[in-house]
Amino acid sequence: MPVNLTKGGNVSLTKEAPGISKIRFGLGWDARSTDGAAFDLDAVAVVVGANGKVLSQPYFVFFNNLATPDKSVVHQGDNRTGAGEGDDEVIEVDLPKLPAESAKVVFAATIYEADTRKQNFGQVANAYIRAVDEATGAEVMRFDLSEDFSTETSLVFGELYRREAEWKFKAVGAGYADGLAGLVRDYGV
């Protein structure tokens, strides 16, 4: 059984899935019905150092930069509709390939052209992030975001981080009203 997290909760992925080395993070959501333009949410992963800032520009992974130079973090591609069941976008993390100076990987989603389309995360339902052990296919962890983010246009789902010899995941669930710009500012991209 996967561990179901609540906001602020964390889990040791190392303890839940001994020997885990490749993790598939699936992000999913459903757009609530609106009269306006279609929703296009984009998953983002930021590899940050101990200072809380991105290691370098290529370690900001999104639809225009699908992989870090060392292939430690690889985005599986942009889903422009969010239609259908299951994960809408997937980001794979190869733990042994992460640079030694990386402290954590932050997972977020932004709404493409949110201001122009007058969209926010309050219009998005059933948002979640889950971790799947690539070797076994078993879901290890899941975090369902249940808050109403009526002004936020980007949202940090959670963080994968290293604590001594363990890899852990923390459910964050915090948003930015200024979208991608807020993420870029806070993580020094």
Tokens of 51: 């200072």
Tokens of 48: 């940050």
Residue 16 backbone dihedrals phi, psi, to 5 degrees? -70, -30
User: pLDDT band at residue 82, thresholds of 50, 70 and 90?
Assistant: very low
Domains defined for the chain, CATH in brackets: 3-187 (2.60.60.30)
List of residues 6+ apart from 18 with CB closer than 8 A? none
Is the pLDDT at 116 greater than 80, yes or no? no
DSSP letters spanning 16-32:
HSTT--EEEEEEEEEEP
pLDDT tens-digit map of 24-74: 999 887 766 666 667 777 889 999 999 999 999 999 999 889 999 999 999
